[in-house]
Structure 1
């Protein structure tokens, strides 16, 4: 029986992924900091296993992963690090504490979950980690500076661990969507110019489908949407100054 443990599972991409994998017959574990929304989703998915969790709490993360995996013979086929936050705005106008919080959840949270899940992934055939990356991890995005920085870190961790953990048969990859219509993004008080120019055309369900496709892939990075795929692949062959010019135009106030 295939198992998936999802952080940030109560809404947005995490919830869409939980629903899709549940429909595909996987045993789904749900983790989120919002206990009420988490319980509602668990009930929807035939009382799926769930536990409230702050992903920056290493001890709580270790207990949660252990509890879920103990119900499945110590196995974990897939860890999906979906939890994350962002705040749009001018860098200097965002409180330093909020910048730190973004990095703690988006980076330290991924490090923590991946670290504590390792023993269970190592003991499972065809195990995999999928991290929630972003198009913002390709080139720094103005007005999303700390979020963009966090996704660069996730990208680096993904690339390093995919090589390092190959000896254990564990694949590590990230999903790289552009802006996704989720409560986290739609409730922002500041609309970054890049959002106005590119629009928010991607739904959480499309990212969930990409996560499903990634379970059968050895790719390390999975860019999502035709728009970003063109930018991603052109960025592999064109000079960096061209990407910089494009980003400068998209982000012009």
Structure 2
């Protein structure tokens, strides 16, 4: 039976992806800092999957969780879906340094910890892959999302490097680059960024779960979501940087 391990699985995109893969008959490993929400999700899926409350900023927590998951999965991991992440929107100078650092620790270092801890399982599974949640904010730095954008640029760079480096281990590494998604992480922001007001939020967590499913059936490094973002990404390859910068400036007023 195919097995997927999902971080940030208790809500939003992670939970929607868990439900989709469960419907498709996959065996799930579910990680999140919110253990009670994980238990509720697992019960809604029949209670047959594996869960563990994990703080991805804690190396011991990640290491112990992967050792336990190895037992459950019988040494197999077909997909690692790194979905855990946080967001803080607002003027850069209004956000405390501790919060900027926390964003980077969860979104980047946490992802790296899980990748490293999962590597032995991925390596011994034929055709394994890693799918990382990136963002449209990794295309050009987004005002009022400065540290979040920085974290997603890092995820994009890591994905590109590992896509080449882990090919020798038969591990495909991809990311999902998406515009804003209607999730609690976005809805609960106290600061409403102008770029969100101008572009709107039309994608749902279920839409992104569908995109993860599509990505696992393909081989592209960057799986781009929405016609709007695909057009912007294509244009950015041909237009001077000053044009892209100008567009971002207008959208962020």
TM-score, length basis structure 2: 0.98
Q: How many residues align?
A: 252
What do the CA deviations read for 1:79-122 (whole angstroms, capped 9, x no partner)?
00000001110100111100010000000011100011001000
Q: Which residue of 1 aligns with 2:74?
A: 73
Mapped to 2, the partners of 1:71 and 1:41 lie a distance apart of 18
Shifted more, 159-168 versus 53-62: the winner is 53-62
Residue 13 of structure 2 contacts residue 209 of structure 2 at CA under 8 Å; is this kept in 1? yes
Q: Which residue of 2 aligns with 1:142?
A: 143
Structure 1, unaligned stretches of length 5 or more?
Answer: none
Q: What pairs up with 1:39-188 in 2 under 5 angstroms?
A: 39-47=39-47, 48-188=49-189
What's the CA shift for 1:31? 0.5
What's the CA shift for 1:78? 0.5
Shifted more, 53-62 versus 108-117: the winner is 53-62
Residue 132 of structure 2 contacts residue 155 of structure 2 at CA under 8 Å; is this kept in 1? yes
Query: Which 4+ residue blocks in structure 1 deviate beyond 4 angstroms?
Result: none
Residue 82 of structure 2 contacts residue 132 of structure 2 at CA under 8 Å; is this kept in 1? yes
Is the aligned partner of 1:4 residue 2:4? yes
Q: Which residue of 1 aligns with 2:232?
A: 231
What do the CA deviations read for 1:165-212 (whole angstroms, capped 9, x no partner)?
000110000001100000010010000110000001110111111111
What's the CA shift for 1:64? 1.0
What do the CA deviations read for 1:9-58 (whole angstroms, capped 9, x no partner)?
00000000000000000001110001111110011111121000001111
CA RMSD, aligned part only? 0.8
Helix, strand or coil: the match of 2:223? strand
Q: Which residue of 1 aligns with 2:250?
A: 249
Q: Which residue of 2 aligns with 1:203?
A: 204
What's the CA shift for 1:147? 0.3
What's the CA shift for 1:239? 1.8
Mapped to 1, the partners of 2:96 and 2:72 lie a distance apart of 42
